[in-house]
């Protein structure tokens, strides 16, 4: 059996950003997941997994700031793995500082870089330490507004079927009142469209429901927007590929993330799926929020 048909995954990011939850998703998908191993050990592990006699077909490693106390850096590890034809897909989990503080407080944990200082100082130190790897990550997921279940859906959307080598596009609807997704590569605002919320019979429906979708997409401005956006985005794909960016997130926002953004995101995803070089997923971040 040929191993590493599926690229290895490197899971990293901010402490409290959701690394453990992300690891669980990959374990459920059949990955062998190694937790908090030093950068140098990642190379040794993946060399071992690549041998034909090993039982591991898919592998992921979780490494956070605690692992970086050992010799070697993640950047060097990625370069070495790439040279060995084992280039990993790097997933970076992030969240706003105030959310990280709240998460640490809720479990009464100290930050690994806090020392004798405040939790906020520890988080700031970590942000500086991970800035370079964040900039080199293939996928960045901001878990600020995500529950554990939302995070699972976001990871599954970002990685598609965990097998596809096409460029992967996640079209994510959201509500601006809950904050725009910081992990989006492109954010568009569809609040210029008439809001179905003000139509009593549509208020309780969502953009995935036919009456709302028909109302939103029947607006001439909606069709013009989707046509122009898909045409523009299509011209960007080759540039993304040239720059090695195979995971792209498009954020589509309206006020609450219930009606307009959902309907438009669904239509954009439908149009993009006509391109057989793309693996397109849809994610509605705020559709269930009040």
94 is in an annotated binding site: no
Q: Is 67 annotated as a binding residue?
A: yes
Instruction: Report how far apart, in Å, the C-alpha atoms of 217 and of each of 23, 69, 155, 186, 247 are.
Output: 38, 53, 28, 21, 27
Two tokens, residue 238: 């080759």
For residue 259, give Cα distances in angstroms to 49, 84, 272: 46, 48, 20
281 annotated as a binding-site residue: no
User: CA angle, 29 as apex, 247 and 145 as ends, to 5°?
Assistant: 55
66 among the known binding-site residues?
Answer: yes
Which segments are annotated as binding site? Answer: 64-67
Annotated binding site for GTP: 64-67
């Amino acid at each position: 059996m040929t191993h590493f048909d599926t690229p290895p995954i490197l899971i990293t990011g901010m402490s409290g950003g959701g690394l453990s939850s992300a690891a669980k998703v990959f374990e459920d998908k059949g990955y062998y997941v190694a937790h908090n191993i030093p950068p140098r050990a990642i190379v040794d592990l993946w060399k071992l997994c690549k041998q034909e006699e090993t039982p591991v077909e898919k592998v992921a490693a979780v490494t956070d700031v605690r692992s970086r106390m050992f010799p070697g850096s993640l950047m060097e590890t990625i370069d070495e793995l790439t040279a060995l034809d084992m280039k990993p897909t790097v997933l970076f989990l992030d969240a706003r500082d105030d959310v990280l503080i709240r998460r640490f407080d809720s479990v009464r944990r100290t930050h690994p870089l806090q020392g004798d200082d405040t939790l906020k100082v520890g988080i700031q130190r970590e942000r500086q330490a991970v800035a370079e790897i964040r900039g080199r990550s293939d996928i960045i997921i901001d878990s600020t507004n995500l529950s554990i279940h939302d995070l699972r859906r976001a990871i599954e959307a970002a990685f598609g079927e965990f097998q596809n080598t096409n460029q992967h596009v996640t079209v994510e609807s959201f509500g601006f009142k809950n904050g725009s997704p910081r992990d989006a590569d492109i954010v568009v605002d569809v609040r210029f469209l008439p809001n179905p919320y003000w139509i009593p019979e549509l208020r309780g429906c969502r953009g995935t429901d036919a009456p709302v979708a028909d109302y939103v997409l029947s607006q001439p401005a909606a069709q013009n927007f989707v046509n122009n956006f898909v045409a523009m985005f299509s011209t960007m794909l080759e540039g993304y590929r040239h720059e090695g960016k195979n995971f792209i997130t498009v954020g589509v926002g309206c006020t609450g993330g219930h009606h307009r953004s959902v309907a438009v995101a669904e239509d954009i995803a439908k149009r993009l799926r006509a391109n057989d070089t793309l693996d397109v997923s849809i994610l509605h971040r705020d559709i269930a929020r009040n």
